[in-house]
């Protein structure tokens, strides 16, 4: 595997995202800052082609084998086989139409739809589904980003095995992994509760922001293994078994608790078990502030004598709440979520790509934003990386 640490010749270009830096290998960029020789993939292409716009590849796997740092792999709308691995550092993989490029199981099946081990990789705008997948989008490269994805209806047959819709993992030593602006739903066996199968799973340092996670067999957001130093902000979590599980154990490399976790501006509503719960090893420096937590089996259970601050315990007042998905999850008129968030850690835009007001709303959607995600037909705009 390629090392997740940029080479000695790399220049770290810091893009400040709530204090999280994305490292881009400058050696891969020409003097004008643009990557030369971008690659193209289309459903009507061929892996015998050179991967140009005029003669695209057929599979993402083929493009990944040809990709070099600084390149963007453009994927046209269509259906593409999963079960592949990407290893090159500094590559952006982009569905040119958000959710237009759909990854589904190959004929022989696959455990993971997409496994990324490259550092400073961005996976942007893909849709992933397939009952036989155990994990949808898996990334372990340092400074990698999974954004604007729609991952759903996978892990249906898992029994006693772990799985996730999107997984930012520290097993291979990766750190500073970002999961943002995604919708993840119906992960795991339906009509069950699970300790092992989750919507968004994170086990290292980084950022989880502006995600919509609902109707998952386990937790909407689950931290474990080496999770620590994470900002979890402006997510909306409903109808999961657990809204958010915060903890660490069964360590890979970092022998310590889930500590220095900032959990702010989240809506945690109508989850069957706990809303927010700490378990396993947790630290004393975790902060839970300005969250709306209501209608869960148990709203909040924290450890080490911690208490949440600024918590709102009231119905979020969505424009149209549909517990199975398909609603409009923006705060409606008079919602207690409007303007009630903390600005200090808020992302600059919401899940729809629209800007937050100066007074930040709680949840993944600002009340002025466009409906998106489970509320299709609107498609998300790509937020700036800053």
pLDDT for 207 equals 98
pLDDT for 8 equals 31
pLDDT for 4 equals 37
pLDDT 10s digits, 54-92: 999 999 999 999 999 999 999 999 999 999 999 999 999
pLDDT for 371 equals 60
Per CATH, the architecture of 26-375 is what?
3 Solenoid (2.160)
pLDDT for 11 equals 29
pLDDT for 185 equals 97
pLDDT for 9 equals 31
% of the chain with per-residue pLDDT over 90: 80
Over the chain, what HEC string results? CCCCCCCCCCCCCCCCECCECCCCCHHHCCCCCCCCCCEEECCCCCCCCCCCCCCCECCHHHHHHHCCCCCEEEECCEEEECCEEECCCCCEEEECCCCCEEEECCCCCCCEEEEECCCCCEEECCEEEECCCCEEEEECCCCCEEECCEEEEECCCCCCCCEEEEEECCCCCCCCEEEECCEEEEECCCCCCCCCEEEEEECCCEEEECCEEECCCCEEEEECECCCCEEEECCEEECCCEEEEECCECCCCCCCCECCEEEECCEEECCCCEEEEECCCECCCCEEECCEEECCCEEEECCCCCCCECCECCCCCEEECCCCCCCEEEECCCCCCCCCCCCCCCCCECCCCCECCCCCCCCCCCCCCCCCHHHCCCCCCCCCCC
Instruction: Give me the residue spans of the domains in the chain.
Output: 26-375
Q: Is the pLDDT of residue 7 over 70?
A: no
Quick one: pLDDT band at residue 136, thresholds 50, 70, 90? very high
pLDDT 10s digits, 243-288: 999 999 999 999 999 999 999 999 999 999 999 999 999 999 999 9
Quick one: pLDDT band at residue 319, thresholds 50, 70, 90? very high
Q: What is the mean pLDDT of the chain?
A: 88
Least confident of 144-153, 309-318, 370-379: 370-379
């Amino acid at each position: 595997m390629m090392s997740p640490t940029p080479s000695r010749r790399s220049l770290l270009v810091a893009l400040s995202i709530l204090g999280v830096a994305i490292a881009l290998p400058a050696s891969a960029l020409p003097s004008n800052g643009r990557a030369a020789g971008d690659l193209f993939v289309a459903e009507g292409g061929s892996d015998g082609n050179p991967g140009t716009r005029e003669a695209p590849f057929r599979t993402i796997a083929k493009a990944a084998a040809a990709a070099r740092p600084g390149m963007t792999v453009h994927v046209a709308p269509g259906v593409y086989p999963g079960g592949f691995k990407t290893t090159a550092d500094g590559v952006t993989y982009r569905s040119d139409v958000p959710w237009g490029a759909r990854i589904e199981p190959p004929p022989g099946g696959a455990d993971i739809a997409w496994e990324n081990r490259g550092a400073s990789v961005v996976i942007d705008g893909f849709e992933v589904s397939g009952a036989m997948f155990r994990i949808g989008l898996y990334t372990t490269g340092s400074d990698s980003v999974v954004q604007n994805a729609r991952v759903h209806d996978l892990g249906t047959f898992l029994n006693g095995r772990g799985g996730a819709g999107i997984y930012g993992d520290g097993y291979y030593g990766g750190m500073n992994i970002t999961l943002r602006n995604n919708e993840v739903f119906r992960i795991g066996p339906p009509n069950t509760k699970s300790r092992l199968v989750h919507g968004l799973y994170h086990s290292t340092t980084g950022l989880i922001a502006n995600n919509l996670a609902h109707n998952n067999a386990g937790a909407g957001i689950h931290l474990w293994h080496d999770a620590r130093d994470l900002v979890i902000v402006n997510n909306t979590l409903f109808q999961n078994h657990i809204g958010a599980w915060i903890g660490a154990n069964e360590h890979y490399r970092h022998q310590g608790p889930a500590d220095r976790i900032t959990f702010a501006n989240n809506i945690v509503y109508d989850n069957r078990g706990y809303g927010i719960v700490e378990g396993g090893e947790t630290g004393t420096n975790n902060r839970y502030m300005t969250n709306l937590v209501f209608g869960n089996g148990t709203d909040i259970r924290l450890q080490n004598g911690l208490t949440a601050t600024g918590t709102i315990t009231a119905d979020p007042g969505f424009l149209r709440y549909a517990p199975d998905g398909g609603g409009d999850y923006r705060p409606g008129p008079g919602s207690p979520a409007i303007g009630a968030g903390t600005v200090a850690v808020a992302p600059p835009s919401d899940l729809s790509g629209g800007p937050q007001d100066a007074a930040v709303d709680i949840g993944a959607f600002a009340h002025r934003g466009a409906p998106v995600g489970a509320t299709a037909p609107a498609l998300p705009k790509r937020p700036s990386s800053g």
